């Protein structure tokens, strides 16, 4: 059986292995093997698996679908691994494996360090853009989904076998920089950064802390909004910064350094990793030659003093405005720095794919950027994708805010989750004899699991409602429920080691064990579905279903107290 059903290397899912068998039968009947696709059954009462290919095959061959299904069934009945085969409706084939076959698969599965999930070959180079936090601004809940979804995809792509570079891509080069610099000059005109005659060197220590920056930016932004003269001062500072004024560049570097330190703390608290800590500023030298190239190609043209790139196509079903490359005042736009970032990534990583995990509301922006990049030929061999995500909303259906109506800082949200988890631990009397510091760490991990699973269990494009009480429950579709299942499994393994039990060969399953083997055998499908669809919720759904199946198995079977040593 293992060589007949699992003859491919590396392994596949159970349904994938069965697809090989059924596809061969379709081929033997002179039909395309693609009709032999087998999937887990959506009617477990009729069979463990199903194949619906006879219907499509009948249309292609202009034959009766049930007649084709009967021919396929007749050939499958000669194989020993099936304990039950049947037809339903106009040609649906239901298949169930013998317990010997399931046991053989489980043994092969257990011996495979990747648990049946094949590594992609050849691997691709992927750049993932999933940060987007801004210099000098506190990270808040608006940064949460990009970080959590992006990190999940980074781990998923690495597991599948791709080479992945995660880029935080900070906002560090726009008008907000001019606002902060001009505000600093109003507050501290004595600093050497504002003396145009100063020859340096500039101080190594930053004149502001991260916490002070968090206060300075909103104050400066409010002042600029209220006073046109103040806004003009910020615009001038922005232009001088981008033109290379030494004092402003030195001051900007301080802002950058203290902000990155703060970001690493906040992203680290979420378990989010980046390989590159780059921002828009690092691609500034690439903008001028890129713009010159687009001018020479005839792509960029002047329009009311600005430089634009028309990107609309004749078959567009809605209006796609031109991309603004350079504003009338000579300043670069987000679209300009995003295009220059593509140039930088092609030069540095030469990616096959650049995947942007950014709010769905930015979709038009990325449509304009992608079209321009392709027209200008600056994307190299890279395919560009925008994975837009929905918002985390409050009970009112609007983006989640504090009770006072402000934007909640990420640190405060994590603290709120940890406190709520601690309340739940106290309610259920869990870990009461632990050291207080360790118990606090448990609450932090439970809170993070609740937060991250709540996000990942929703499809990225979907909005969802923040429900603190539901997220931290130890039952239902929650992160703590999965933690509980993992802790239970690890506890069994620790106790087994203590009492001298070692794993033996997996035997053909008893009826109550079949579902667990079938669930384990579906892991490769969950992985590849999540990978192809850029949908980590597929993994979240699979993990929750597996935990439920294990719980049923755990409650029905003796494990450590099983008297039969073979079992």
Q: Give tens-digit pLDDT for 156-204.
A: 999 999 999 999 999 888 889 999 999 999 999 999 999 999 988 999 9
Q: Please list, residue by residue across 238-255, b when 16 or more beta carbons sit within 10 angstroms of its beta carbon and e when fewer do.
A: bbbbbeebebbbbbbebb
Token representation of residue 401: 């805010």
Q: Where are the beta strands (DSSP E) in 381-519?
A: 383-389, 392-393, 464-465
Question: What pLDDT, on the 0 to 100 scale, is given for residue 403?
Answer: 64
Q: Is the pLDDT of residue 404 over 70?
A: no
Residues 459, 537: contact at Cβ < 8 Å? yes
Phi, psi of 94 (to 5 degrees): -105, 135
Strands 125-129, 353-359: pairing is parallel
Share of the chain residues as helix, strand and coil, in percent rounded to the nearest 5: 55, 10, 35
Q: What is the pLDDT of residues 413-430, one digit of tens each?
A: 999 999 999 999 999 898
CA distances from 263 to 132, 138, 172, 410 (A): 11, 8, 13, 10
Q: What is the pLDDT of residues 194-240, one digit of tens each?
A: 999 998 899 999 999 988 998 999 999 999 999 999 999 999 999 89
In terms of average pLDDT, the best of 362-366, 392-396, 405-409, 559-563 is 362-366
How many C-beta atoms lie closer than 10 Å to residue 502's C-beta?
6
Longest dimension (CA), the chain: 91
Distance, CA of 6 to CA of 16 (rounded, Å):
9
């Amino acid at each position: 059986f293992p060589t007949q059903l699992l003859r491919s290397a590396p392994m596949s899912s159970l349904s994938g292995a069965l697809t090989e068998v059924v596809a061969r039968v379709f081929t033997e009947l002179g039909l395309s093997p693609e009709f032999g696709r087998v999937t887990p059954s959506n009617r477990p009462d009729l069979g463990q698996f199903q194949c619906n290919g006879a219907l499509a095959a009948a249309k292609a061959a202009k034959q009766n679908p049930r007649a084709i299904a009967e021919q396929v069934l007749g050939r499958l009945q000669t194989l020993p691994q099936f304990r039950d085969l049947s037809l339903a409706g106009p040609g649906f084939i239901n298949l169930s494996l013998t317990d010997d076959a399931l046991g053989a698969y489980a043994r092969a599965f257990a011996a495979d360090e990747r648990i049946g999930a094949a590594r992609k070959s050849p691997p691709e180079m992927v750049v993932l853009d999933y940060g987007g936090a801004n210099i000098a601004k506190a990270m808040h809940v608006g940064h949460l989904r990009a970080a959590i979804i992006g990190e999940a995809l980074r781990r998923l792509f690495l597991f599948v076998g791709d080479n992945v570079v995660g880029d935080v891509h900070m906002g560090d080069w726009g008008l907000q920089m001019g606002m902060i610099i001009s505000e600093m000059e109003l507050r501290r005109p004595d600093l050497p950064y504002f003396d145009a005659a100063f020859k340096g060197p500039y101080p190594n220590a930053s004149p502001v802390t991260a916490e002070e920056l968090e206060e300075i930016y909103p104050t400066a932004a409010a002042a600029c909004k209220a006073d046109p003269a103040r806004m003009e001062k910020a615009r001038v500072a922005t232009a001088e910064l981008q033109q290379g004024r030494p004092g402003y560049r030195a001051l900007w570097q301080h802002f950058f350094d203290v902000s990155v330190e703060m970001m690493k703390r906040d992203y680290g608290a979420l378990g989010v990793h980046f390989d590159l800590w780059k921002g828009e500023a690092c691609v500034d030298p690439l903008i001028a030659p890129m713009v010159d190239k687009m001018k020479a190609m005839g792509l960029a043209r002047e329009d009311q003093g600005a430089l634009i790139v028309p990107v609309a196509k004749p078959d567009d079903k809605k209006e796609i405005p031109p991309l603004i490359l350079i504003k009338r005042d000579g300043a670069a736009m987000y679209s300009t720095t995003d295009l220059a970032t593509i140039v930088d990534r092609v030069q540095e990583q030469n990616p096959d794919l650049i995947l942007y995990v950014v709010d769905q509301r930015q979709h038009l922006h990325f449509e304009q950027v992608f079209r321009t990049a392709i027209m200008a030929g600056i994307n190299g061999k890279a395919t560009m994708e925008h994975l837009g995500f929905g918002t985390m909303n409050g009970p009112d259906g609007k983006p989640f805010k504090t009770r006072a109506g402000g934007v909640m800082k990420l640190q405060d949200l994590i603290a709120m989750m940890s406190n709520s988890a601690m309340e739940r631990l106290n309610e259920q009397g869990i870990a009461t004899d632990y050291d207080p510091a360790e118990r606090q760490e448990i609450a932090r991990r439970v809170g993070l699991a609740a937060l991250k699973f709540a996000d990942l269990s929703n499809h990225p494009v979907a909005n969802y409602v923040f429900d603190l009480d539901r997220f931290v429950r130890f039952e239902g579709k929650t992160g703590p429920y999965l933690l509980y299942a993992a802790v239970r499994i690890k506890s069994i393994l620790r106790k087994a080691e203590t009492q001298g039990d070692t794993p033996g060969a997996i035997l053909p399953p008893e009826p109550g064990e079949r579902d667990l083997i079938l669930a384990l055998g579906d892991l490769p499908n969950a992985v590849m579905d999540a990978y192809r669809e850029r949908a980590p919720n597929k993994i979240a759904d699979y993990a929750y279903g597996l935990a439920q199946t294990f719980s049923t198995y755990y409650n029905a079977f003796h494990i450590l107290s099983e008297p039969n040593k073979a079992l």
